[in-house]
Structure 1
Amino acid sequence: MNQTLNDSQAPTPDPSSLEPRALGVPYWVLSALTLLVCVCSLAGNGLVAWLLSCRVRRTPCTVYVLHLALADLLFLLCMASVLSLEAAKAHPMASEVLRRVKYFAYTVGLSMLTAISTLRCVSVVCPVWHRQHQSPRLSAWVCAALWTLSLVMNTLASVFCSKYWHSDENQCFVVDAVFSVLILGIFTPVMTVSSATLFVQVRRTSRRWRRRRPTRLYVVILASVLVFLVCALPLGLYWFLLFWLHLRPQVVRLYSCLSRLSATVSCGANPVIYFLVGSRHAGPREPLEAVLQRALQEAPELEGRETPSGYNNEEGV
């Protein structure tokens, strides 16, 4: 993620510094696809954010999902702006600022997804404790803390690693190491372990209660985490490991374009998952807010009928 570190520590150049003609047609094709996905994803995440803030009943989980949608919106806006500035051959410093904001949004989105999966894992492992301590206010405080942590880390990375601030190589390496531990050593493993626990619980409960479907919220979480691991994490790992590799500039630029497209698809997939899961067995003209609320409901449901929205059983999946 910390692309500027590569400028000072390795012979591999910064992908953003290469001209589009270094790739030619592949660059423009991938950039056009990324911009198209950005536009569609902005519409989807904007709709989710509007429904969750105005139309859907507030729960601890919907608070996290709302902040995840806001982080994805910020990421997509920065991505579309960076692509536009590159096409217009604007000043590199403008792209650098947007790139830093994009990394900030990426970190917030990852932390929110980790918080959602951890919250549901706790509800499965310690249902009584979770039921006594859950509240939308606590979720809002946790989200504020995650935004603040991401802002502090990305600000440090911008100050110590940006080429426009006369960065120090040793300080930049320390900041990037802490960043890597936070992303790859804490957030990603916690999210993966929590999701694996949910998957095991879903399988076990489905076998025990054959007439009970898995909670839609758990299906949403598992699908979102899977999309992130497949689409965003492999190329995110490449961002961190870029300075260890001695690759040609054209190859570096190609990986940069692929990472943009992949991360954009990952952000845009979440609204699709919400509405696909929530629209299962729904009426033909059901409002979108009802579909979204059903996708994020915490109550289990039985075969052939929906569980009332007021029912809440943390032990069921």
Structure 2
Amino acid sequence: MDSLEDYEYPQDYNYSYESFTPREEAISQHKSMCVKQVLCVSLLVGSVVVFLLGFCGNALVIWISGFKMKKTVNTTWYMSLAISDFVFCAFFPFSITNMAMEDWIFGRFMCKFASSVMFLNMFSSIFLLVVISIDRCVSVMFPVWAQNHRTVKKASVVVIISWLLAIGMSVPSVIFREVKTHLGRTVCYNNYTLYRHGHKVVAVSRFLTGFVVPFVVIIVCYSIIILKLRTNRMMKSSKPFKVMSALVAAFFICWLPYHVSVLLELDHQKYDHSILNAGLKIGTLMAAANSFLNPVLYVFMGNDFKQKFRSSMLSKMENAMAEEGRTTSRYLSRSSSMDGRASTHI
């Protein structure tokens, strides 16, 4: 994600490094001033917490869904989400170090690669959430077909396609990210000076493909699911939908401030620099926080509150993911025995 690297310095906005040459005196000294700034220290502490919780939590999800549970379509979805978040957390220390030192010390390759990984996480997460929503909708609307064709192999293929699309959407970071050293300080930034409309195209395309369109698809899918199940009076357990709804809500709540800040940055002349800079930093940290919320939601929504204190964390997370598989199976089995009536009551 470019924000933690882009917005640490007054001259490091998305569009170009050269745009802020009048502020060169701000970076005339290499000494980091982060420890003297309340906002910067708060962001550092928050970032370290996100890294520790996200790295450990997603490692647990990967271990449970990959080695402790039977491989199903549902565990395939959740393991893919966990892998996406785990990779993000693994590269997050680069951003944390850059923020603390106010200096990029990792070279040009890591400037491009680390930023690409951040956006790979964003797009792979939202694409997988869209896939899961469509999968739920198809299972409810066409239960017999889903029971016969919904396989782990096909789910794995869909996951691979989603990751390939996410990789494609991360390419702009490889193209535009650059490193420049000036007055003793090295920065990793987005250089759009050679592309007149590059900044706007990238920002708007990320907003549409990584936020607006997925949001519309997910809302449509869940609306269909709710109407279908209420019509058939077959909503025996709402827990799977609560888990999935919480995952989707967490993603959009975490990423909305980031996208809003980036869009406002397109017309940066209209806004106060300090306010815009603070908004970008806070929005970036909120977006990063999404990487550890998923495993937390597995834990706190896996069982009833009292049962959380009677079982281990592994059991809670496993129950959260397994519950969806059991509920979906019960629904598909019951639907199959109704002689097709369930698929006609819309």
Going from structure 1 to structure 2, the CA distance change for 1:123 and 1:61 (only over 3 Å counts) comes to: same
Q: CA deviation at 1:60?
A: 0.8
Q: Distance in 2 between matches of 1:225 and 1:252?
A: 27
Note if 1:57 corresponds to 2:70: yes
5 Å-filtered alignment, 1:204-223, equals 204=230, 208=233, 212-214=236-238, 216-223=239-246
RMSD value, Cα = 3.6
Q: How far does the alpha carbon of each residue in 1:84-104 deviate from its partner, in whole angstroms, 9 at most, with x for none?
A: 233134426445542232112
Q: Which moved more, 1:185-194 or 1:1-10?
A: 1-10
Q: Percent identity?
A: 21
Q: Which of 272, 284, 303 is 1:279 aligned to?
A: 303
Residues 128 and 9 (structure 1), Cα distance of their counterparts in 2 relative to 1, 3 Å cut: farther
CA–CA distance in structure 2, aligned partners of residues 95 and 87 of structure 1: 16
Spell out the pairing of 1:144-183 with structure 2 (5 A cutoff): 144-155=160-171, 157-163=172-178, 168-170=194-196, 172=198, 173-183=200-210
Q: Check whether the contact 2:34–2:100 (CA below 8 A) recurs between aligned residues.
A: no
Matched, 1:188 2:215: yes
Gaps of 5+ in 2: 7-12, 180-189, 336-346
Select the structure of larger CA radius of gyration: 2
- Equivalent residue number for residue 313 of structure 1: 332
CA contact (8 A) 1:278 1:294 kept: yes
- Given that 1:231 and 1:265 are in contact with CA atoms closer than 8 Å, whether structure 2 keeps it comes out as yes
Q: Mark the runs of 5 or more structure 1 residues left unpaired by the alignment.
A: 302-308
Matches within 5 A, 1:9-48: 21=34, 24-48=37-61
Aligned to 2:290: 266
Structure 1 residues 195-238: Cα deviation after superposition (integer angstroms, max 9, x where no partner): 34445556x27x9368x332x32221011111222222232333
Counterpart Cα distance in 1 of 2:209 and 2:52? 30
Q: Are the equivalent residues in 1 in contact too, given 2:59–2:86 (CA < 8 A)?
A: yes
User: Corresponding residue for 2:118?
Assistant: 102
Identify the range of structure 1 (112-121 vs 233-242) with the bigger mean alpha-carbon deviation: 233-242
* Partner residue in 2 for 1:304: none
CA deviation after TM superposition for structure 1 residue 78, in Å? 2.5
Give the number of equivalent residue pairs: 301
Instruction: For 1:283 and 1:267, locate their aligned partners in 2 and report how far apart those are by CA, in whole Å.
Output: 22
Q: CA deviation at 1:131?
A: 2.0
> What is the SS of the residue equivalent to 1:6?
coil
**Distance between the aligned counterparts of 1:21 and 1:49, measured in 2?**
35
| 1:84-141 Cα deviation digits (max 9, x unpaired) | 2331344264455422321121111111112112211221222222222211111111
CA spacing shift, 1:89–1:298, aligned 2, 3 Å: closer
Distance in 1, matches of 2:118 and 2:174, equals: 15
CA distance 1:30–1:149, shift in 2 (3 Å): same
* TM-score (norm. length: structure 2): 0.73
